[in-house]
Chain A
Amino acid sequence: MIDFTVNGVRHSVDVEPDTPLLWVVREQLGLTGTKFGCGIAQCGACTIHLNGNPIRSCVTPVSAAAGGAVLTIEGLAGDGELHPVQQAWIDHQVPQCGYCQSGQIMSAVALLDNNPAPDDAAINAAMDGNICRCGMYGRIRKAIKSVAGVGQFDPKSGEVQHG
């Protein structure tokens, strides 16, 4: 049995210790918001937080989570209120197919937790591990900046105004 919390709820799972956290979260716990994209830490679709750090859950064995705290996309909104990053994703109409977006959002939240006003280089560094096959990088960048307060989203023009 391996114990850990997911989105604040305690869980015990009985699986082989090498089972990636991704599949435990998706299949054992039924939290399917976290996605499988590559299985080799190349795409970021499976990004979740373990003890506050963003990880690629497809290559993180569940044993590494023992005693730890996991946060997934389902746990991001508190009390029916979206996390500011989620709201920014809606304001900027970021998702297309949406499949990569749980991972993108989890990476962006981790970035902003550590660096409330990231510049372009910091955004590149934090987000380069997350592929968006639909190519919504420009919108992701604007949405992150709007949350960081370095740009104001203007719903009328759909542009982030700087300054």
Chain B
Amino acid sequence: MGKWTRRGVITAGVVAGGALVVGVAIRPGNRARKLAPMVTEGDETLVSAWVKIDPENRITAIVPHSEMGQGAQTALAQMLAEELDARWEDVTFMEAPAVDEYANYMLGKGYLLGPAEVPEVLVGTLDGALMQVARAMRLQITGGSLSVRATGQYGMRIAGAAAREMLVDAAADAWSLPVAELTVRDGRILHEASGREAPFAEFAAAAGRMDPPYSPRLKERDEYRIVGRSVPRLDIPSKVDGTARFGIDAVVPGMKVATIKAAPVFGARVVSLEDASARSMPGVVDVVRLDDAVAVVADDYWRARKALAEVRIRWTEPDQQSVSQEQIFAQFDEDMARAVADGSGKTDVGRGDVSLGFAEAASMVEATYRVPYLAHACMEPMNATVAFDGTDCEVWIGSQNPLGTRYSVAGALEIDAENVTVHNHVMGGGFGRRATDDAAIQAALIAKAVGAPVKLIWSREEDVRHDHYRPAITSRFKAALDANGVPLAWENQYVDKHEPAEAPHIPYGIANQHIHYTDSPTHVPFGPWRSVDHSQHGFFTESFVDELAAAAGRDPYQFRRALLAEAPRHRKVLETAAEKAGWGESLQEGQGRGISLQESFGSIVAQVVDVTVEDGSVRVDRVVCAVDPGMAVTPDGLAAQMESGIVFGLTAALYGDISIESGAVAQSNFHDYPMVRMSEAPAVEVEILTSDNPMGGAGEPGTPGIGPALTNAIYAATGTRIRQLPVSRYDLGFSVDEAEEVI
């Protein structure tokens, strides 16, 4: 039983115990438009969303997104409860199982994507031979700040509204009253005139026999009672008493514990190993040799870890083992120069004619920026637990893409995806890392080799050295200013374009723009990292705009503002941050204030950072963040996401540096890949602006703008322009008049 609406199919029925279940699967838009929105605009996206109402009037939102701390499941439940007119206290959620019916994409209907449309950022995480898996990977992904924008807008709301209409119809039938005389409040249906009322549950069975409405009415924003309210997150109580179950906490009868060492040089393979002494150690079950890694399986983690340290492994010696970070940056420079020389660069934005702007220039500004590779360093190291009996396989994991995990594991074991069950868990951080299935595939192969259920736990060292890294990038700029300091032309060349496509674009009204890029592949695996390409380009473009302001002799805030005549929404966000921060007030000696403006995932964010530079070290005193997300489903949750994204981006800007030495990652754990800690964490003030615009993302947009606001503040304090992250590379121990470029 199903009805097609403009956007999707609504289904309904009654399950055991008389619970009403209503589901929505959104159908694709036209083929050409269908993929980009998954990571950008979130329109016409395929999503599934379900609601269940049981006889006790308890309402369960079944959400196809996993929880990694972003509060998305709570926000989705809110959107559903809103349209249903439920009582919030009756609402709970469960994560959808990793099966096609709950896919974000309708792959299960035989609707396959063309390989060219798999987003580049995910291609890097794949074995080329497994393009089928690539398609599957897109299925149930939590990323791109999408949950609320796509699933919430087009799934949860429709499911809630449809269920509400069916329940009202059923009540009207039962009471022989016209539908128009019934109202719904707090999970109950009321007939004001007679005072008659009853809970949803009373009509669940009858509603389940009805045809779902063709196109249920959705509320206008000014009718919202639950959406827009800072409800407490549903997952938090389990995270203060130790009861939340993360993937690493899975326990399966008969389970063994494994830990692993993969080839330090990406691309190297196992040649041979000496494992006699490891095998003789207490509790060791097996030593498993994979193509590019060796695992020890024991009866507990510590025994596995100690034994792994005793295994002597010889690796192949591929060419990549001589690659250094300097060589990678030198390669970028060469490839960029070559692209300019032979015209092989690819145009990203071509507007006006930059050569005209350059010809009329009163002054020119040029700069080159670099950012390093970054690891995700999720607090919970990578892990997966797999039981495989030769036919059926079960996986316990925290995944941003459980359905993708299902297909990856099936592929690795050469069985049907039908035979793989994924039990998804809350994640101890995702940030894009848990969209990649490497640990699950390893665990599956190890479990198969030993013939027993295996929990594979990576050491932190393995986690840092075998990530799918935020790519290192070099970006070069040239701009022309007229005699009044107004920019006439903006030219930007960078290496390696991934997602989202608009990351290098600027909101500023500059008539002539040429933004172009060239590919410069390396052997280092890469993948999505919180805010994806915005994390690098936000730093580049907002640093360079600041350099233009300095060259024009203008205040960096007023300089930006003057270029936003055509972008009122951006301008308002910028003004809000500046006003709230007290932009223009005089600061103490050694202090500096910097600003940035960045749009990502449909949300616009401006940040003002105050720093003190003392004895060569930087202290971040205060961050003011103004954000326009269109609408905030849970304002406190949005604020928390901003705070989180800011600290994440601050860690990257101050310290984040994964460098390649001899083909391998040089860092290994938090002592040499440091994180911002309590004493360094600034006070963050978040100001939320609401507008009538479509909902933007929350999880990622806080991250890109903090780096440039910080380095712009350091410039204001010291005169040192940071052009290569992290800041810790620079010696800031000198005063303004001696300031010069140190790298």
Pairwise interchain contact A23-B300, C-beta atoms closer than 8 A? yes
How many B residues, CB 8 Å from partner? Answer: 64
The listed residue with most B CB atoms (<10 A of its CB), out of A34, A37, A124, is A37
Q: What per-residue 1/0 map shows which CB atoms of B615-653 lie under 8 Å from chain A?
A: 000000000000000000000110110011111101100
Interface-located stretch among B18-26, B245-253, B728-736: B245-253
Residues of A within 8 A of B430 (CB): 97
Q: Across the A-B interface, how many residue pairs have beta carbons closer than 8 Å?
A: 185
Pairwise interchain contact A97-B678, C-beta atoms closer than 8 A? no
B653 to chain A, nearest CB (A): 13
Determine the distance from Cα of A90 to Cα of B303 in the docked complex, in whole angstroms.
37
Pairwise interchain contact B671-A90, C-beta atoms closer than 8 A? no
Determine the distance from Cα of A94 to Cα of B233 in the docked complex, in whole angstroms.
10
Interface residues of A in 23-46 (CB under 8 A from B): 23, 26-28, 30-40, 42-43, 45
Determine the distance from Cα of A40 to Cα of B251 in the docked complex, in whole angstroms.
24
Pairwise interchain contact B648-A133, C-beta atoms closer than 8 A? yes
Which residue of chain B has its CB nearest to the CB of A126? B678
Determine the distance from Cα of A34 to Cα of B237 in the docked complex, in whole angstroms.
16
A14 to chain B, nearest CB (A): 11
Pairwise interchain contact B457-A89, C-beta atoms closer than 8 A? no
Which residue of chain B has its CB nearest to the CB of A137? B681
Determine the distance from Cα of A73 to Cα of B241 in the docked complex, in whole angstroms.
6
Pairwise interchain contact B679-A96, C-beta atoms closer than 8 A? no
Residues of B within 8 A of A42 (CB): 669-671
Determine the distance from Cα of A28 to Cα of B283 in the docked complex, in whole angstroms.
14
Pairwise interchain contact A127-B678, C-beta atoms closer than 8 A? yes
Residues of A within 8 A of B726 (CB): none
How many A residues, CB 8 Å from partner? Answer: 61
Determine the distance from Cα of A136 to Cα of B239 in the docked complex, in whole angstroms.
13
Decide yes or no: A35 and B670 within 8 Å by CB, A73-B242, A139-B640 being known contacts. no
Interface residues of B in 208-267 (CB under 8 A from A): 230, 232-233, 235-246, 248-249, 251, 257
Pairwise interchain contact A93-B640, C-beta atoms closer than 8 A? yes
Pairwise interchain contact B241-A135, C-beta atoms closer than 8 A? no
Q: What per-residue 1/0 map shows which CB atoms of A107-127 lie under 8 Å from chain B?
A: 000000000000000011101
The listed residue with most B CB atoms (<10 A of its CB), out of A76, A99, A124, is A99
Pairwise interchain contact B248-A36, C-beta atoms closer than 8 A? yes
Decide yes or no: A23 and B240 within 8 Å by CB, A38-B670, A93-B640 being known contacts. no
Residues of A within 8 A of B70 (CB): 96
Determine the distance from Cα of A20 to Cα of B235 in the docked complex, in whole angstroms.
30
* Residue B426, interface by CB 8 Å: yes
Pairwise interchain contact A31-B242, C-beta atoms closer than 8 A? yes
Decide yes or no: A97 and B428 within 8 Å by CB, A23-B302, A90-B240 being known contacts. yes
Question: Could you list which residues of chain B lie within 8 angstroms of chain A, going by C-beta atoms?
Answer: 68-71, 230, 232-233, 235-246, 248-249, 251, 257, 282, 300-303, 377-381, 426-430, 457, 459-460, 636-637, 639-640, 643-648, 650-651, 669-671, 675-679, 681, 683-684
Known A23-B301, A96-B71, A133-B377; 11 more pairs at CB < 8 Å: A15-B300, A23-B300, A33-B243, A37-B379, A93-B232, A94-B236, A124-B678, A132-B647, A134-B429, A136-B643, A158-B230
30 contacts between A and B (CB under 8 A): A15-B302, A23-B300, A32-B249, A32-B251, A35-B380, A36-B457, A39-B669, A42-B671, A74-B242, A76-B241, A89-B236, A95-B236, A95-B239, A96-B69, A97-B426, A97-B427, A97-B430, A99-B246, A100-B428, A124-B679, A132-B379, A133-B379, A134-B429, A135-B646, A137-B647, A137-B678, A138-B643, A138-B681, A138-B683, A140-B678
